Structure 1
Amino acid sequence: MNFQTSAMAAGNSGLTRPPLKVPVTHQHIFTILQTLIAEGRVPRSDRPLRILDIGCGDGRLINSLQSLFTRHMPELQVEICGFDIGEHGFKDSSQLSGTLELLTENHPGIDWSNRVRLISDGDPWGYEAGSFDLAVSNQVIEHVEDLQHFLVNLRETLAPGGQSVHVFPLSQCMQEAHCLVPFSHWIKDYNYRVAWIALLSRLGIGRYRVDRKLLGHDTVARHAEETAKFIECWTTYRSFGEIARMAGNLSMATSYHFTKNLLPTKLRQMMGRKPARKYRRWTPFGIEWLSYLFVRSMTSATLVISPLRYDIGERIAKEKAYRAHREQHEAMREAAE
């Protein structure tokens, strides 16, 4: 099956259909997947393309991806699965029930109970080695405390040549993504953090008005305290360098290339324009780097993490053969002289 041809077939079908309304990060992830497929960077096989949503939560990313693949790449068979951590607030499995209900309602005919699961925190993900061609996560890695465990399972789960796409805020992002109080995650002193959240909440900055109704934060002081607890207990912000070093220790490549595409995708959506079919892969290095520095400070970054495999034995054998050939050549020349 030609993945690129499948994508074009959907666009040239002659049917006029209303655009799908999906969150911008979901559209961004799908466009990256389209780009990777079009470039031939995704493993090909006779079975359906298998995609894993890591930390699938309420299933909305799975729902969006299933809809987008059906709409824009109908000839490509995909099998999307997902899992979340049972201890993260959903011990009664109500989260799983709601996820299955959403997916079954929007995509009937698929046995989602065999595709979506809860696992226990710290346990292996439980998939056979090489089960998935692609893996994705949306606003998950900043909640991962044991990144080593995450990366080891990611490497094990991806098939040879597999790719993974992750959208999440790095430590350099000025806006704390959950309470919307700028710089609150930069402040390491707990008491100062509480005071800063309280000050900005009184100025109308952040989620106090929402959380007062949603979470019962009846006073600014309580809101500041509870929000500071959340940041301390449930977030772990890291830099790109830190993640790249940990991934590199496991022979995994890390790239921030697609970070620059999130804001343009957001602008296109705001202007009512169709999303890009694929992203431009390369821009001049200086522009790429500067755009990454800007976007990572303003909003979520996008990392592609993929396992690498290198046959060192083949390299050593070729080097030995080359040296032996040169030594033989030198011996023949000396004999001739």
Structure 2
Amino acid sequence: MKKRNIILTISCIALLALFIWYADGSFDSYQKRILNLCAIYVILGLSMNLINGFTGLFSLGHAGFMAVGAYTTALLTMTPESKAATFFLEPIAAPLANITMPFFMALLLGGLLSAFVAFLIGAPTLRLKGDYLAIATLGFSEIIRIIFTNTQNITNGPLGLKSIPNFTNLWWSFGTMIFTLVVMIALINSSYGKAFKAIREDEIAAESMGINLFQHKVMSFVIGAFFAGIGGGLLGNLLGAINPMMFRFILTFNVLLIIVLGGMGSVTGTVISAFVVTSGLEYLRVLDESINLGFIKFEGIAGLRMVVFSTLLMIVVIFFRNGLMGTKEFGWDKFFNFFNRRPFSKKGVGQ
């Protein structure tokens, strides 16, 4: 049975690789942009779900970690010529002026620096609980954004960075998404993951069982921030230009929306929700434009897509209070058992 599941999983990854190869050669730039965003938001959703969903910490500082990863990756991949052209108000700091790294190294350093910042933030704040933790992490996220706005010779201040190399493609985004999925599933199924869930359910009971609350909270916070930095780096090199205003609270809210809609504490739900939300917001843009059906023409209303999308979200939340998946996960055994279920006999159970 286990061998069958491994073969099926590898087959699905192979089919995904085949789809990426086809999409990379056949889809237009707009469609590829949407697919890239879907994969990046899966990474961001999983990283936040580890903190908020599996560990039960109410953190709202994700945009700050994304900013650290995005700026670090961008600065380390930009050429000296593009840096000189971008920093025209004040020259870039000397150590960064001539440094150019491969994308993989820059992305990894962006994630590590985000994790380090999370450790510095988590040490004083993770002793707080509930709303107090949310306010503290949101405050630190804003502090990071304000620092980036005022460090002209490092981040180019409010002007942001332009001419960022577009290294992010379908292979990078989906490859990183698969890596993140594997790491998250392995972590959640390990003893550390069980400790995270125990803390989420009841901190007092978890501590009485010998679980070090502070150590495990910091671990979850740092790992989540690492992948948030990776996602931010991919996003920055996909867009080609970033500025501090991109990393306001609304960005954290978008990621929070994904994990709430998918299910707090569900990897499967996060993946499904990231694709549904990201692609849905894009394809509903047609509602903001005029629609001509031949026999009748509807004038577009600016903002109508957000009204429709919000209504759909409200309907989902009303009928699925724990999200689309709740805390459930997809499994091959569950998949086959669902189709192999036999209905009850008409004569009744046991007859």
Aligning the two structures, in what range does the TM-score lie when normalised by the shorter sequence? under 0.3
| Structure with the bigger percentage of strand | 1
TM-score normalised to structure 2 length: 0.25
Q: Which has the higher contact order (CA 8 A, sep 6+)?
A: 2
TM-score normalised to structure 1 length: 0.26
Bigger-Rg structure (1/2): 1
